[in-house]
A and B are shown apart, each in its own frame.
Chain A
Amino acid sequence: MLRIRKAGLQTTLQGQARIGQRFVGMPYAGPADPLSMALANRLVGNPADATCLEITYGGFEAEIEIACSMALAGAPSDLAVSGQAHSFHKTLHLQPGDTLTLAPPVQGVRAYLAIHSAFEAAVQFGSTSTYLTAEIGGLEGRALRADDTIRARGSTTFGDTLETPEALRPVFTHQFALRATRSSETDLLTADSERALFSEMFTIGRQATRMGLALTGHTLTVESDGMMKSAPVFPGTIQCPPSGLPIVLSCDAQTTGGYPRIASIARCVRHLLGLMRPGDQVRLLHRAPEAALEDDQRKQNFFSDWLEDGF
């Protein structure tokens, strides 16, 4: 019912994160930017984590084969339906024969395409989310390609036409300030390096994937003999290998690792890891853990009227 003509750099089906299975080495997966996915789903009457297409850097084109209601949120780019310009953050009602095209975004990385009732995808390890490394979830555990056909789980038309309230639309930028706490091995940094970590501007390196983002621009000095016993890591953990170049782990983060864990991105801003691209600038703002959780509560409250069940 939706035939892919151009899949772009990496388009995958993403739904719920695989919470609770890290102890067997299974990462969370799910959307890199869960807030944008929740906002797209909201516009077609779906739960926040209903299965969507996560489209990386646009360049996407699909043919619609059945009347359906869809919506887009995330990295803003030119959107057209059969040649007519349309907007993100508004319910779209499409007809058979329509073509949906999405240009590459200027800022941000990923857009989320939601369909009323959610896309159908293989449920593996309790979720539809595609985890490419292990080839599970989604469509055959892989990124979509031209000529793939994907279906919806149920009735595809939604009676309402909704718009995301202006104030709730995430701002896309090339500069980020991320709240972060100290972590288990922060003490292994020299005093100068700890100061640099929480004050200097870093640049996102070329390695910027769903697994993690390299921070460049400042080489940190970490006292490490490379023989730390492997310890749990999570999306948001910042590891520092002996090279001194930190890596921020994102949604596909491995479950354990043996490089010092020098900081952790606060829960309330972890969705921003899905927005950052190579060359973007990022500064870490130090927060005490309790203060960071209060920030998360404020964020949940801010969105609660619109995203009633959280995200």
Chain B
Amino acid sequence: MSDKLSPNRVADDVFEIRVDSSRQAQWIARTLRKAELAEDVVAGLETVCVKFAPASAQQVSDWLQGIDFAVDETLPDTPIITLDIHYGGEKGPDFEWVCEALNLSAEAFIEMHTGQTHTVEMMGFTPGFAYVSGLPEDVKIPRLSDPRLRVAAGSVGVSGAFTGIYALAGPGGWPLIGRLSKPLTGPISGAPIFFQSGQRLKFKAA
């Protein structure tokens, strides 16, 4: 992609840029962060938000509109990590209806989920939460209409065609299909952040 960006003002101190994919969003956000003009640059799955100090509103706006991006979507070549998941039961209270919604048996869902390599598209929400792609694109699971106030650490949810891993306990709106059998322990010691975007994962039924 080589394109001009058209920023949209989504708060008095935030511009938002719409992009086509999370890889583009990640790449653009990294490029913008390096320029150090904004207070904060955060990628979503199809957007990048740029939060700025009030004094630099015009400067940031001009800068965003003037940049020409050539996106490099190559993923880092890191070893695949395998995570064991307990599917269903108390640890995955939404597993049954998620399978029903997809017209799959529990076994067929697990086979689909464990049968391929997934990719961490982005980290976000709370420290360590991973947005993981890899489910077929026609999987469309809606979020809960009312988020849970507390989800256990290690919970695994699905939303749209994404798998989400809750590294920490906290509130959450994704239907839960299971839980990791072991808590995450990260490469960044002492920090609840375990993956970088681009990390490839495999799931295994515990």
Q: A-side interface residues toward B, CB under 8 Å?
A: 19-20, 22-27, 124-125, 131, 133-136, 181, 183-184, 207, 211, 225-227, 229-232, 234, 236-237, 241-243, 245, 254-259, 261, 264, 266-267, 287, 289-290, 292-293, 296-297
Q: How many A-B residue pairs have CB under 8 A?
A: 162
Contact between chains at A230 and B45 (CB < 8 Å):
yes
CA distance A27 to B44 in the complex (A): 15
21 sampled A-B residue pairs with Cβ under 8 A:
A19-B39, A20-B39, A23-B40, A23-B41, A25-B125, A27-B127, A183-B11, A184-B8, A227-B140, A231-B49, A232-B47, A234-B14, A234-B40, A241-B143, A241-B144, A245-B146, A255-B124, A292-B12, A296-B12, A296-B13, A297-B54
Given contacts A26-B127, A236-B11, contact A133 B41 (CB under 8 A): no
Chain A CB within 8 A of B149 CB: yes
Chain B residues with Cβ below 8 Å from A184 are 8, 10, 16, 47
CA distance A254 to B127 in the complex (A): 9
Residue of chain A at shortest CB distance from B164: A230
Kindly list 12 other residue pairs between chains A and B, CB separation below 8 angstroms, not including A183-B11, A229-B44, A257-B125.
A19-B39, A23-B124, A124-B190, A131-B127, A133-B170, A136-B191, A227-B142, A229-B45, A232-B47, A234-B14, A256-B124, A293-B57
Contact between chains at A293 and B173 (CB < 8 Å):
no
Residue of chain B at shortest CB distance from A287: B12
Contact between chains at B129 and A25 (CB < 8 Å):
yes
CA distance A184 to B16 in the complex (A): 8
Chain A CB within 8 A of B193 CB: yes
Residue of chain B at shortest CB distance from A268: B12
A-B CB proximity, top 5 nearest: A226-B142, A264-B11, A256-B124, A231-B44, A292-B12
Residues 49 to 94 of chain B near chain A (Cβ within 8 Å): 49, 51, 54, 57
Contact between chains at B131 and A230 (CB < 8 Å):
yes
Chain A residues with Cβ below 8 Å from B135 are none
Q: B-side interface residues toward A, CB under 8 Å?
A: 8-14, 16, 29, 33, 39-49, 51, 54, 57, 122-129, 131, 140-147, 149, 159-160, 162, 168-171, 173, 190-193
Given contacts A227-B140, A234-B51, A259-B143, contact A24 B123 (CB under 8 A): yes
Residue of chain A at shortest CB distance from B197: A23
Given contacts A232-B43, A264-B11, A289-B12, contact A255 B168 (CB under 8 A): no
Contact between chains at B169 and A183 (CB < 8 Å):
no
Given contacts A133-B169, A267-B13, contact A229 B127 (CB under 8 A): no
Contact between chains at B146 and A256 (CB < 8 Å):
no
Contact between chains at A25 and B123 (CB < 8 Å):
yes
Contact between chains at B168 and A133 (CB < 8 Å):
yes
Min CB–CB distance B47 → chain A (angstroms): 5
Given contacts A207-B149, A230-B45, contact A25 B39 (CB under 8 A): no
Contact between chains at B193 and A256 (CB < 8 Å):
no
Residue of chain A at shortest CB distance from B18: A184
Chain A residues with Cβ below 8 Å from B159 are 227, 230, 258
Min CB–CB distance B61 → chain A (angstroms): 11
Min CB–CB distance B18 → chain A (angstroms): 9
Contact between chains at A234 and B142 (CB < 8 Å):
no
Min CB–CB distance A301 → chain B (angstroms): 12
CA distance A290 to B145 in the complex (A): 34
